[in-house]
C-alpha cells in the first residue's frame, strides 16, 4: 500500500446497521426474501404507500402553481407550517390560556426528525451544557451518534427487561433517581419506542414527569410516530401534552418528525420546539434567534416541498379528515400483522412466550431473538432484521407472515 501524506486523522467507522442491512436485502435474489429491517411503511404487497391524502395535496399544489414554491423561506422555516406543526404536537383546543401557552413555545423547521434531534442536541450543548444526556437502553442507534457529535457525555437508563420482554419502569426510575444530576437531559420517546415498541402507561408517564421536575432534569422528547402508532394524534401526543400542561414550571423540548405519519420519508419534514417555563416566556424569541444562528451556519433553512404538503393537508378540514383515515389504515395494518405473527407462533407452539409482540406498540417489535437466531434467519431463510432482534412489523404481510413464523420456530428449535 502506498504511503499516504495527509493532515487528516481519520479511522474507519462502523457502517450504519440499518442501511447496510437494507443494502444486503436489495441485492438478495431469493424470491421469498423478507425485509424486517428498515422503518418504513409497506402495503400487504410489500410496496411503498404514498398516502392518498398526500397525493391529493400534491395535485392541489400543482393546480395552485404558486410562483414562490421554489423560493427561499425564512431561516426559521415556513412560518405558517411551524404554527401548524406546533398545534398538532401540543394541542390547544378549548384552553382559556391558549395564547399564554403558545407564548412558551419557540419553533423552527428542521431537516426531519434526525435534524430536529441534532439541532436540539447542539443547542443544548452550547447553551445549557448538560453534564450528561440519559438515553434509554436500548434506544434508536442514531441518538448515540447525534449526542456524540454534540459533545455531550452519554449515559443510559434501563428500559428493556429481557427476561419478561417488558418495559423496565422500576429500573428506569431507580437509575434516574439515584444517578441523574440536576441539569442533565433525559431523552424520552413520545410514543412507539424505537426499538422496543414498549411505552410507559399514563400513570408511569406522570411519575416520570414528577421525577424530572423534582430533580430538575431536562426532558427531550423525540416524537417520530404521532398518529402512526395508535391511529390517534391525540393519544400519541399524550405524554408531551401532559408534561407541557401539568409541569408549566419545567423547560423541555420536542423533536418532531413527519416522515412516518405522512409517509414523507425522503422529503425530510420536521420541526424542533423549545418550551420555556411559564415565567420565562420573554426568552422565547431569543431561543429562536439562537436556533436560527445554528441553522444558518448548517443548512440555512428547512426544505420547502414536504412542509407545503403537510400545510396543505392540515389547513383543509376535508384533507385532514382524509389524513386521519390514512393513519387508521397504516396503524390498523401494523396491529393486524402483530396479531397474525403472534397467532402463527402460538399455533406452531414455538418455544417461549410471545404475548409481547401484541403488547408492544408501533412499527417495531423487540422480538427477543438472539443475534445467533437473527443470523440464522438471514442465512437460511433470507429474512432480514437487526441483530438486536428488532423487527419492523411493516415488513410482514398476509403472504409472508406464516413463512416468517415457521422460520422463527425453526431457528429457535434448532438452537434449543
When pLDDT is cut at 50, 70 and 90, the band that residue 402 belongs to is: very high
Q: What cell was used for 350? A: 414455538
Confidence check: pLDDT of 1 > 50: no
Q: What does each C-alpha distance from 74 to 69, 79, 83, 178, 304 come to in angstroms?
A: 13, 8, 14, 44, 11
Tell me the pLDDT tens digit for each residue of 174-229. Answer: 999 999 999 999 999 999 999 999 999 999 999 999 999 999 999 999 999 999 99
Query: Pick the residue with more confidence: 253 or 368?
Result: 253
* CA terminus-to-terminus distance, the chain: 47
Please identify every residue annotated as catalytic. Answer: 140, 222, 260
- The pLDDT tens digits for 67-117 are 999 999 999 999 999 999 999 999 986 555 888 889 999 999 999 999 999
Helix (H/G/I), strand (E/B), else coil: 49: coil
Q: What is the mean pLDDT of residues 405-410?
A: 94
User: In this predicted model, which residue has the larger pLDDT, 361 or 239?
Assistant: 239
Instruction: Determine the pLDDT at residue 119.
Output: 98
Q: What is the 3-state secondary structure (H, E, C) of 358-375?
A: HHCCCCEEECCCCHHHHH
Mean pLDDT computed over 309-314: 97
Contact 225, 265 (CB under 8 A): no
Per cent of the chain over pLDDT 90 is 80
- The pLDDT value recorded for residue 21 is 87
In degrees rounded to 5, what are phi and psi of residue 108?
A: -140, 155
* pLDDT over 90 at 314, yes or no: yes
C-beta neighbour count of 240 within 10 angstroms: 25
Distances in whole angstroms, Cα of residue 124 to Cα of each of 111, 208, 298: 18, 21, 16
- The confidence band for 2, taking pLDDT boundaries of 50, 70 and 90, is low
Whether residue 93 contacts residue 189, with contact meaning beta carbons closer than 8 Å, is answered with no
Judged by average pLDDT, the poorest of 7-16, 342-351, 353-362 is: 7-16
Determine the pLDDT at residue 395: 93
Judged against a pLDDT cut of 90, whether residue 262 lies above it is answered with yes
Q: What is the predicted pLDDT for the residue at 52?
A: 97
Residue 3 has pLDDT above 80, yes or no: no
Choice between 247 and 18, residue whose per-residue pLDDT is larger: 247
Which grid coordinates are listed for 138? 436500548
Q: Are 136 and 159 in contact (CB under 8 A)?
A: yes
List b or e across 129-151, with b for residues whose CB sees 16 or more CB atoms inside 10 angstroms. ebebbbbbebbbbbbeebbeebe
Please tell me which residue, 25 or 223, carries the higher pLDDT value. Answer: 223
Which residues, 6+ apart, have CB-to-CB distance to 336 below 8 Å?
A: none
pLDDT of residue 93: 67
pLDDT tens for each residue of 230-239: 999 999 999 9
Q: Judge contact between 183 and 162, C-beta under 8 A.
A: no
How far apart CA 294 and CA 326 sit, in angstroms, is: 35
Residues 48/40, Cβ–Cβ less than 8 Å: yes
37 — pLDDT class (breaks 50, 70, 90): confident
Averaged pLDDT score across all residues of the chain: 93
pLDDT at position 372 is 93
Q: Per-residue pLDDT for 415 more than 50?
A: yes
Q: Are strands 160-161 and 166-167 parallel, antiparallel or unpaired?
A: antiparallel
**pLDDT tops 90 at residue 349:** yes
**What residues pair up with 269 in beta bridges, in sequence order?**
111
User: Domains in the chain and their CATH numbers?
Assistant: 17-50+320-415 (3.90.1150.10), 72-315 (3.40.640.10)
SS3 324: helix
Helix 202-215 and helix 169-179, axial crossing angle in degrees, nearest 10: 0
| 259, burial (CB in 10 Å: exposed 0-12, middle 13-18, buried 19+) | buried
pLDDT: which is higher, 352 or 86: 86
Amino acid at each position: 500500500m502506498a504511503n499516504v501524506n495527509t493532515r487528516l486523522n481519520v479511522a474507519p467507522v462502523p457502517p450504519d446497521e440499518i442501511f447496510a442491512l437494507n443494502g444486503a436485502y436489495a441485492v438478495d435474489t431469493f424470491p421469498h426474501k423478507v425485509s424486517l429491517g428498515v422503518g418504513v411503511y409497506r402495503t400487504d404487497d410489500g410496496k411503498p404507500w404514498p398516502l392518498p391524502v398526500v397525493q391529493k395535496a400534491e395535485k392541489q399544489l400543482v393546480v395552485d402553481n404558486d410562483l414562490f414554491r421554489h423560493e427561499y423561506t425564512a431561516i426559521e422555516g415556513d412560518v405558517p407550517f411551524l404554527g401548524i406543526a406546533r398545534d398538532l404536537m401540543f394541542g390547544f383546543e378549548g384552553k382559556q390560556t391558549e395564547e399564554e401557552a403558545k407564548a412558551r413555545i419557540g419553533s423552527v423547521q428542521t431537516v426531519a426528525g434526525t435534524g430536529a434531534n441534532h439541532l436540539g442536541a447542539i443547542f443544548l450543548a452550547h447553551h445549557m451544557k448538560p453534564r450528561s444526556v440519559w438515553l434509554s437502553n436500548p434506544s434508536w442507534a442514531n441518538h448515540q451518534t447525534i449526542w456524540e457529535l454534540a459533545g455531550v457525555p452519554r449515559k443510559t437508563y434501563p428500559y428493556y427487561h429481557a427476561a419478561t420482554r417488558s418495559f423496565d419502569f422500576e429500573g428506569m426510575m431507580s437509575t434516574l433517581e439515584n444517578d441523574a444530576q440536576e441539569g442533565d437531559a433525559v431523552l424520552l420517546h413520545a410514543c412507539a419506542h424505537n426499538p422496543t415498541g414498549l411505552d410507559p402507561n399514563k400513570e408511569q408517564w406522570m411519575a416520570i414527569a414528577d421525577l424530572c421536575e423534582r430533580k430538575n432534569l431536562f426532558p427531550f422528547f423525540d416524537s417520530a410516530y404521532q398518529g402512526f402508532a395508535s391511529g390517534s394524534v391525540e393519544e400519541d401526543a399524550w405524554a408531551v401534552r401532559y408534561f407541557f400542561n401539568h409541569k408549566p414550571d419545567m423547560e423541555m423540548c420536542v423533536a418532531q418528525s413527519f416522515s412516518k405519519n405522512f409517509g414523507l420519508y425522503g422529503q425530510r419534514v420536521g420541526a424542533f420546539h423549545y418550551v420555556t417555563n411559564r415565567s420565562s416566556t420573554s426568552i422565547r424569541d431569543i431561543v429562536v434567534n439562537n436556533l436560527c444562528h445554528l441553522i444558518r451556519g448548517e443548512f440555512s433553512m428547512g426544505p420547502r416541498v414536504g412542509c407545503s404538503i403537510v400545510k396543505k393537508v392540515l389547513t383543509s378540514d376535508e384533507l385532514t379528515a382524509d389524513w386521519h383515515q390514512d393513519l387508521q389504515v397504516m396503524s390498523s395494518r401494523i396491529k393486524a400483522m402483530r396479531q397474525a405473527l403472534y397467532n402463527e407462533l402460538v399455533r406452531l407452539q414455538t418455544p417461549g412466550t410471545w404475548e409481547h409482540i401484541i403488547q408492544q406498540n408501533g412499527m417495531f417489535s423487540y422480538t427477543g431473538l438472539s443475534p445467533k437466531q437473527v443470523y440464522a434467519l438471514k442465512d437460511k431463510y433470507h429474512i432480514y432484521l437487526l441483530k438486536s432482534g428488532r423487527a419492523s412489523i411493516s415488513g410482514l404481510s398476509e403472504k409472508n407472515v406464516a413463512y416468517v413464523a415457521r422460520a422463527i420456530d425453526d431457528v429457535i428449535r434448532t438452537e434449543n
